[in-house]
Structure 1
């Protein structure tokens, strides 16, 4: 039964494009890795279904992304506005694109996109990442929503390991900035505000070297207030 569930979730993921990165890593995986991929796919489709069945429209802000967004309490950060969180942990740009219609249909005044660290972590090439970001951006064209593209945040390799390099983060951020400039979209550069003196994600803002703690989210929201 568990094997059938994994196969079902995996085939659904491939159909929607979310499983593209997973498929490239199928050879030689062990049971623990397979279980982890099963959980990621299940979480993605569970959250996607919940989002699609929500009935709130014409909101003030909507945040879109991966775990960095998923873990944030954005409604609490903006108590005088109606704010939706459309973050899904472990998501990638392709995964966001395949659920972006629901986001666009919420008709938010402002949408804040932060995505890319998992693309880097899974070895996605810049060309495919760019294609998916451009598709996301195009989805908002002709709507009443003002889209903001946020930079990917740095990591702390001493805490998190070497799965993501800040050199690669900067390369992907350059691509995000280029797309934003071309499309006349405001680019919010958060990267520098989270660095320590060694060019790493400051330990004040993280527990595991990748995700933000409470102080990290405070810094993020403070920068949004200052830059938007």
Structure 2
């Protein structure tokens, strides 16, 4: 019995260590300020929300798409945990549509794939519960290109991107939402983020955003 209790204590400690070691409480430095700003903006049921990290944050969506009701809710460095923490700010306005691209920072920080997917499911479930009329669009995680040698923390984790994207393709129909598979649209012939669409191997450049906009337009009509 003593050995069994000791084993349980070890498992508990390891579990606690693993949870702490992946920094689930991490938030970007600008996170609190930006969320406060988002909360001051007026809401409309016609809003079309673009939700995510820096890849979303860097676009001027209303100009890029010529879409007056586009609202940028991207925060640089954000993760699925950050999205869950601030999701009420998005759902309280009962927006028309939400486009979500998130996950690459979770991967770069070593979050387990299944935990990331659990968060995706929770995000989807909460939107469906808190804003039932909102149409949900989940986008697959973009590839990276380590040949630029800039964002080293994000490199050599392509297997995680592939796995999560594959699971998202399965989750979307099960949960009754739309998946937009942008990942293959940005690959080069070596299965990297095409250098035509990036200047540093992680974020999109102006050509990348134009391509992304073209992919999204049929879902905005």
Q: TM-score scaled to structure 2, two decimals?
A: 0.82
2:193 corresponding residue in structure 1: 201
Shift of residue 198, structure 1, vs aligned partner: 1.1
- Structure 1: runs of 5 or more not aligned: 1-19, 27-36
2:138 pairs with 1:149:
yes
- Contact kept? 1:65, 1:114, Cα under 8 Å: yes
Of 188, 210, 219, 2:202 maps to 210
Alpha-carbon distance in 2 for matches of 1:162, 1:104: 32
Give the aligned partner of residue 154 of structure 2. 163
Q: Is the 8 A contact 1:66 1:114 kept in 2?
A: yes
- Equivalent positions of 1:1-228 (< 5 A) are 24=21, 41-142=28-129, 143-159=132-148, 160=150, 161=152, 163-164=154-155, 165-226=157-218
RMSD between superposed Cα atoms in Å: 2.2
Pairs aligned (count): 197
The separation in 2 between residues aligned to 1:169 and 1:199, in whole angstroms, is 12
Higher relative contact order, structure no. (Cα contacts within 8 Å, ≥ 6 residues apart) = 2
Cα deviations by residue, 1:170-216 (Å, 9 ceiling, x for unpaired): 11111222221210111000011111111110111111100000000
Secondary structure at 2:28's aligned position in 1?
helix
Q: 1:21 to 1:86 in 2, by over 3 A?
A: farther
Q: Report the TM-score when normalising by structure 1.
A: 0.80
Aligned counterparts of 2:136 and 2:41: Cα–Cα separation in 1: 21
Larger Rg: 2
Moved more, 129-138 or 153-162: 153-162
1:135-161 C-alpha deviation (Å, 9 max, x unpaired): 110112141110000010000011144
Gap regions ≥5 residues in structure 2 = 1-16
Q: Assess, with a 3 A threshold, how the Cα gap between structure 1 residues 126 and 41 changes in structure 2: closer, same or farther.
A: same
- 1:98 aligns to what SS in structure 2? helix
Q: Decide whether the 8 Å contact of 2:53 with 2:101 is kept in 1.
A: yes
